Amino acid sequence: MGAIYWLRTAILLGLLTGVLLAIGAFIGGTAGITVALALALLMNFVSYWFSDKIVLAIYGAKELSEEQAPKLHEIASELAKKFNVPKPKLYLIETHSPNAFATGRDPKHASIAVTAGLLHALDKAELRAVLAHEFSHIKNRDVLVATIAATIAGAIAYIAYIARWLAIFSAFGSDEREENIISLIVLAIVAPVIALIIQLAISRAREYLADETAAKRASCARELISALRKLEHYSARVPLNANPGTAHLFIVNPLSANSIVNLFSTHPPIEARIKRLEKIA
């Protein structure tokens, strides 16, 4: 199953890049493609090196020493050996809403942040399962994949923004120019929506893969099912004031109460994730 998720991710990233190149070519031909690619590469470079520090700062995460959280460090040390990755730094976010996320450009520079609510809501076995899910993201380099997807989608949104202004400044002229203006407006509206849908589909595929990897490597399918049920219940009662741009990082969607359609959700439905885990269990 893991190979299927990797193939799906590769196809979706290819589609996302295709949308970026298409909108760049439409607006500026070969030069437009070059600008679009350069913009995407620049955004990827910045995100690759600094996104972990930015997201930890957004939530005021504080690093946890072994003296402060011996149980958490014990679990992390055990899982690091199971997943054959360096032990990541552990951080605490002071909020009652239970959640967790992994970040970092590669396994050697990874961090896992947990909320105070998560430590209170779960027992040790469930907490281990949640950490195993985050270790899976680190092992599968999902943070890098998500960063690439987000930056390409961001480049598309920026170019679409330019297209809207081009349409405004070119509002008067010949019939042919008016047709181009209409095309620009349609492209400026449709392209970012398509990019967002593809980006979110990538995010959902990576969540399924992280669940599967955790369940198999750490033998914790049932514990992860139990943890997901608890997190869904508590998160609905105690929502996390999360930045929408970082929602995809968390183990459960911190914005789930605002998600209207699964197509526009960063995470698969909890029940869908549980059904897949039950097959493994």
Q: How many CA atoms lie within 13 A of 106 on its CB side?
A: 2
Q: Among residues 203, 209, 206, which one has the least CA distance to residue 255?
A: 203
Q: Exactly one of 134, 207, 212, 232 is catalytic; which is it? A: 134
Q: Among residues 115, 107, 101, which one has the least CA distance to residue 54?
A: 101
Phi and psi at residue 113, to the nearest 5°:
-110, 135
The DSSP annotation for 218-279 comes to TT-HHHHHHHHHHHHHHHHHS-----GGGGGGBSS-TTGGG---GGG-SS--HHHHHHHHHH
In angstroms, the CA 97 to CA 121 distance is: 9
> Catalytic: 134?
yes
Where does 102-174 have alpha helices with state H? Answer: 116-121, 124-139, 142-169
Secondary structure letter of residue 182 according to DSSP? H
Residue type, 65: S
In which element (H, E) is residue 57 found? helix 2-58
Q: Among residues 228, 204, 203, which one has the least CA distance to residue 215?
A: 228
Q: Cβ distance 230 to 121 under 8 Å?
A: yes
**Catalytic residue set:** 134
